[in-house]
């Protein structure tokens, strides 16, 4: 579990769980597109990250929050020796 700027990133089997300010976001590892040319441990589709999990699913994730979330995910995966691709 990594802490950085009030964001906690937890790794679960096949997903990444992000907690920030009492809200939770679960990001499922997506299959890479057929034309992907590199080996990556996690493939995350950015267009699927738009709202927090219930009960905060009415709260949209703005671009500033999204950038902080992506940075925290990259830091945690790098710390674990894993790679991530955002598309």
pLDDT in tens, 25-79: 999 998 887 877 678 889 999 999 999 999 999 999 999 999 999 999 999 999 9
Q: Give the single-character DSSP code of 74.
A: H
Please count the structural domains in the chain: 1
The 3-state DSSP class for residue 41 equals coil
Residues 37 and 29 sit within 8 Å (Cβ to Cβ): no
Range of the domain at 41: 2-86
């Amino acid at each position: 579990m990594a802490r950085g700027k009030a964001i906690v990133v937890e790794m679960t089997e096949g997903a990444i769980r992000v907690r920030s300010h009492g809200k939770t976001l679960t990001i499922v590892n997506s299959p890479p597109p057929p034309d992907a040319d590199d080996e990556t441990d996690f493939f995350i589709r950015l267009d699927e990250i738009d709202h927090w999990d219930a009960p905060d699913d009415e709260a949209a994730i703005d671009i500033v929050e999204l950038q902080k979330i992506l940075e925290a995910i990259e830091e945690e995966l790098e710390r674990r020796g894993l790679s991530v691709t955002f598309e």
